[in-house]
């Protein structure tokens, strides 16, 4: 991944546009992070108004989007969902055809849907728009309860700050967990935020709701090698397993088992990058139990094998053989 084209349209959303600029456009080469050729592009170069009353001057037309490794589509207003510029749609179709990464933030997904690249694929958007997306495009498998969806080479994100999660997930695949962690630290955000947007939707809060489960989650991350059954986690939280599972899902947007699998994969990525332990040893250290189970989860989530991942991202020769 060396080139990124960020497509904006009239009345674009400045916040999500800023996310793309921050994640892909900032020069962090002084921290040993590869600098990307990042360009903002639009159908008609010149002054492009944002939805917040100010404009930006865009120098590049869409030609760069036809060769970029990554094409980011920023959100645009509802009144334009039915009238997306055909030139933008063609650029998105071309990116899909050549297998380039495509990332949509929030309502930017409606441009992907109009281009037809999401047909038969999974996707998400802001929970306020998910029903509309599913109604307009029944051929898309819309999941309204997640922060982002990665299907093939297309990543769609939920509302606003979920764009950070989506963009960092792409960096994790392309640049590795260690580099992505450094970028996240520079941005002062978590390298991977777990949970789904369902936790941000207005809903009644039970009167007997207890304190945050964050201490339990922190304890679990420090003990990934152990058998962390719902029963054991619930006991640590002084709750019944059923109550714990329900509250954990409400707070983190995922079941305890799914959340733990993600944490174990993150740990496995770091160990593959930073240690020379065998795949079997890493599987044991991360709580997968066997190399076969680690490989299965690695392939399912990251679309590669632990061995291939290590060959690409290993920096064990420069690092201490331990995980902080």
In whole angstroms, what is the distance from residue 231 CA to residue 224 CA? 15
Q: Which CATH code is given to the segment(s) 3-187?
A: 3.40.50.880
Sorted by where each begins, the domain ranges of the chain are 3-187, 204-324
316 pLDDT exceeds 70?
no
State the average pLDDT over residues 218-237: 93
248 pLDDT exceeds 50?
yes
321 pLDDT exceeds 50?
no
Q: 41, 92, 95, 89: which is closest to 63 by C-alpha?
A: 41
State the average pLDDT over residues 113-123: 97
In whole angstroms, what is the distance from residue 280 CA to residue 277 CA? 8
Please state which of the four CATH numbers 3.30.70.1400, 1.10.3470.10, 1.10.10.60, 3.40.30.10 is assigned to the domain occupying 204-324.
1.10.10.60
Place of tokens 């935020």: 193
In whole angstroms, what is the distance from residue 131 CA to residue 128 CA? 7
Tens of pLDDT along 28-68? 999 889 999 999 999 999 999 999 999 999 999 999 999 99
319 pLDDT exceeds 50?
no
Answer yes or no: same fold for 3-187 and 204-324: no
Q: What are the residues facing 16 on neighbouring strands?
A: none
Nearby residues of 211 by Cβ (< 8 Å), 6 or more positions away: none
More confident residue, 202 or 134: 134
More confident residue, 188 or 89: 89
Tens of pLDDT along 146-180? 889 999 999 999 988 999 999 999 998 899 888 88
pTM (predicted TM-score) = 0.72
Instruction: Check if the beta carbon of residue 58 is closer than 8 Å to that of residue 74.
Output: no
Place of tokens 């930073």: 274
């Amino acid at each position: 991944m060396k080139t990124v084209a960020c497509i904006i349209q009239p009345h674009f959303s400045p916040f999500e546009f800023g996310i793309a600029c921050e994640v892909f456009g900032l020069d962090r080469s002084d921290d040993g992070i590869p600098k990307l050729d990042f360009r903002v592009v639009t159908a008609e170069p010149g002054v492009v108004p944002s939805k917040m009353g100010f404009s930006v001057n865009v120098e590049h037309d869409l030609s760069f989007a036809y060769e970029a490794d990554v094409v980011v589509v920023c959100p645009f207003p509802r009144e334009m969902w039915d009238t997306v510029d055909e030139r933008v749609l063609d650029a998105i179709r071309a990116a899909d055809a050549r297998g380039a990464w495509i990332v949509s933030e929030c309502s930017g997904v409606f441009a992907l849907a109009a281009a037809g690249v999401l047909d038969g694929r999974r996707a998400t958007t802001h929970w306020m728009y998910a029903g509309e997306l599913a109604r307009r495009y029944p051929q898309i498998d819309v999941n309204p309860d997640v922060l982002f969806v990665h299907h093939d080479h297309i990543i769609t994100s939920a509302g606003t700050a979920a764009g950070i999660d989506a963009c960092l997930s792409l960096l994790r695949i392309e640049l590795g967990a260690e580099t992505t962690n450094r970028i996240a630290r520079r941005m002062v955000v978590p390298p991977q935020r777990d949970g789904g947007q369902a936790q941000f939707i207005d809903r009644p809060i039970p009167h007997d709701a207890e304190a945050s489960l964050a201490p339990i989650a922190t304890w679990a991350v420090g003990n990934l090698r152990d058998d962390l059954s719902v029963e054991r986690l619930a006991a640590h939280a002084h709750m019944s397993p059923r109550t714990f599972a329900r509250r954990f899902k409400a707070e983190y947007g995922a079941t305890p088992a799914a959340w733990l699998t993600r944490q174990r994969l993150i740990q496995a990525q770091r160990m593959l990058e930073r240690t020379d332990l065998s795949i079997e040893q890493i599987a044991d250290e991360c709580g997968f139990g066997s190399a076969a189970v680690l490989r299965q989860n690695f392939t399912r989530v990251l679309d590669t094998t632990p061995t291939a991942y290590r060959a690409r991202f290993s920096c064990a020769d420069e690092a201490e053989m331990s995980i902080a």
